[in-house]
Amino acid sequence: MKKIFKNRAILGIACIVLSLVVSLIFIPTFNKGMEAKVEVIRVSANIEKGERITESMLETALVGAFNMTTEVVKLKENVIGKYLIADLHKGDFILSTKLSNDPLISHRYLHKLAEDERAVSMSIKSFATGLSGKLEPGDIVSVLVANFRGSSSSYSPKELRFIEVLAVTADSGWDIDKYREGDVFGEDRKLPHGVTLKASKKQAKLLVEIEANAHAHFVLVYRGSEENAKKLLDEQKILLRGEDDSFESSDEGAADEGEQ
């Protein structure tokens, strides 16, 4: 019986010691953690996906550090100049997982041009001239022109028989593929307002002249594999070099073969 009482006494003392440790050490430490503050970066206005972040879009805020994820950005220099991969609303914290060092995929084509390549945009002046809103990046098109250089008929200059579409753009400046994804503007579907083409320096100059002085109609030549598209673009390079005069009379047959 004495042994039982002795064990109970030891257990009681242990409980008292444990409660003192909790109340004097753990609880103050926990409360201190709850009261700790940290300065973080948040947005001062609504910012859309794909935008490049500038200092004017940011503000600092002092918030509770308890349970704060390590992904929350705390320094402006870690944010400025980067691109958002998701929409943010005024007051939202900026997470490192929502930032990209590079522009989004819809604009990366501008960073992949070869030294002798150019990107040039042309207006789609009517619904019909832009394939009724169905042009897509990667399409191979022929540029058909009317009222150009005194000609009364429509024709496709040999320099523009096979040319690659880089992007199709709405009047807002956003590429059409973003609207189709529905991840930025919901169900709002926009019609194309312009098309960006990959061109040589010579082609770019001609396209600018057409934009200023003629009417352009974009005719779909091929949509399909990159391999077949490259064949047509290689044939266009031959035309530009003037190395194959006979090709000029047979290019329509080559286009039909590419479509197959």
Please check whether residue 5 lies inside any domain of the structure: no
pLDDT at residue 45 tops 80: yes
Domain boundary among 82, 100, 118: 100
Quick one: what percent of the chain has pLDDT higher than 90?
Answer: 41
Please check whether residue 137 lies inside any domain of the structure: yes
Please check whether residue 16 lies inside any domain of the structure: no
pLDDT at site 63: 82
pLDDT at residue 187 tops 90: no
Do residue 64 and residue 172 come from a single domain? no
Which one has a higher pLDDT value, 36 or 147?
Answer: 147
Do residue 113 and residue 166 come from a single domain? yes
Q: Select from 60, 55, 54, 57 the least CA-distant residue to 41.
A: 60
pLDDT at site 122: 96
Do residue 79 and residue 117 come from a single domain? no
- Write the DSSP string, 83-97: EESS-B-TTPBPBGG
Please check whether residue 88 lies inside any domain of the structure: yes
Q: Tell me the residue range of the domain where 186 lies.
A: 105-259
Distance of CA 15 to the CA centre of its chain: 61
Do residue 72 and residue 183 come from a single domain? no
Please check whether residue 184 lies inside any domain of the structure: yes
Do residue 114 and residue 170 come from a single domain? yes
Please state the domain count of the chain: 2
Do residue 65 and residue 89 come from a single domain? yes
Do residue 178 and residue 139 come from a single domain? yes
pLDDT at site 257: 44
pLDDT band at residue 85 using 50, 70 and 90 as cut-offs? confident
Which one has a higher pLDDT value, 18 or 106?
Answer: 18
pLDDT band at residue 106 using 50, 70 and 90 as cut-offs? low
Do residue 132 and residue 116 come from a single domain? yes
pLDDT band at residue 188 using 50, 70 and 90 as cut-offs? very low
- Write the DSSP string, 41-61: EEESS-B-TTPBP-GGGEEEE
Q: What's 93's domain CATH number? A: 3.90.1210.10
- Token pair of 38, please? 């940290």
Mean pLDDT for 12-24 is 71
pLDDT at site 8: 72
Write down the pTM of the prediction: 0.54
Please check whether residue 79 lies inside any domain of the structure: yes
Please check whether residue 3 lies inside any domain of the structure: no
